[in-house]
Structure 1
């Protein structure tokens, strides 16, 4: 391929769609080589284990070449195509929108003799995903339709990803079953990100117990979980202690005015993703509840965009819905802290009345955990932040 002296080539790359996403598949090209494109125009569709999305053109010009063809799976950061910014189009835009199944979907369907025309797709524009094929197979085996997913599955940070199911095969001659199997690519990518965070940050964790009596009453009145109320309390505490609403990239520490709040969402066997609520400081608890439900639903339907998972300044994880009582969350780099919400359980505790008399009472309690980067923060500040969150939760008023 050659270019004119005035033509500048701009690379179109496979975007990063979450910290544990290692690769993506080009599903469809919307533009052919030689066709004109405008900046931000969709030029192709991609699919990952977590998100189906469109890739916009990074610049206006002409699509000079397609490097990765539809159906091919490549690593994040791989050049997909190149746009010539100083060239004239060879012909008018317009191509048939032929649909493609991802290689994973095609392989599972072939292995189990599934007619994909019979599978209802839940991806973008009805695209059939791996989960749809597996649900179809489960329904066939059970002789009934697959049960719908819960309205609000747990949101948490630790990934439960397991390798995708494969048909049983007889062990090779001489193979030792005790040797086990190699970790999947997804599992290795998640592990690499967690290990990189622990190697990068000077991670410390501080815990503090909080009385959730007022929050429990308020969240029942709102018809939601405790998470949006804890999120609102955390946002207010970040405004009081902005040093935690920050990123540390190398030696460059930056505090952020706006709170772009990451909420860890479980994708079941597909791992986890952390969509971001932008300008969370402008939302009430009710508004945060709406945004959390929307992002979680779109995450599970693989309808998030690259902007939905970028730019977070602070993250909340909620493993308490599994009943866990205490955890040490891993910081979502390059942020400097992550808040962990554990299970709300009733415990006997000592309370003091207005006259100073102590007594035993049964109260709903939770443990708030904060993992923080000692390179940027000190323990006193971490404790002060957690105290501010607890104070707001314990004094929550119905509103």
Structure 2
């Protein structure tokens, strides 16, 4: 990526924006919550793009609040937020966000600021933020333009959505099912980087709008197929059943067709690193880990790998036989299983959780490349374990579809 950041904002505008940093830190969540209310009231068609489940949970509001706060904090040097911009831009590309969406977002964001902040959002503040938003939006638009162009220039690449047929459907556990996908048009389709994801666009009978969901690709690139492994999200006391996951499990069968976006995401395996690779997953978080594992044994068969997976028990543990097969075939692969609630028949290496003492007892050193993925609480615990283990920040890599602060703070 070659995106350049030139604000072109006068000093007075930047000073006013920076002066809003404390109030954004305090009330950013209120502003973004109100923003989404206004956005969907004024533009209900955008419900076809934004994940309404994340809206109910508040995850989207928190992520946007963090971005707005970071932009205000670094308004003098917006290049400081480029890593964050690029991560979000990958998601925007996967959701097919376009330049014409940004003025709509800006208008409603300013309206939300006025509503929430009242007199504190005077004419000078709103004017400064209008200018600043134009610059910030331009950074996103330019970054995403490069990504879209890269997709177009890639052999078999595409923009928007493309129909893929389900050539196989395999139950991996009681709750996880894999879908093997090939393009309906039989034209080439691009390989991807281990760890990347695609977006499924689900048009479900009885639903008033489209549902978009991102799923990590769970096999090694270059196998002539895309595979996603989807956990069926059943209803819990505080959460309704997953609309798309249940639709895929119950309605989409072998021979069916789904619309997907091209692979995206910056949570990718560094295949130039030869140090030990540590892959840690919880539950369905194993999907990008499996892609990284399968890819590494093909590309770096001598590389030391520690594959650690946590699940409730064997009934919900997907792909355990494949991991066992790999560990038996490759002497450099060390596989460990942790079950929180095992049955009497289960085979596992540890009961309970992946704690610091156990984790450090099975690893040779903290000088390794660490990748982890799983539920939010699991990921927060893994991050804390690795920080306690004095793992360098550059070696801590994780995928989380939400604000990173939920993991790191």
Higher relative contact order (CA 8 A, sep 6+): 1
State TM-score, norm by structure 1: 0.25
Q: Which has the higher strand share?
A: 1
| Structure with greater Cα Rg | 1
Q: Which has the higher helix share?
A: 2
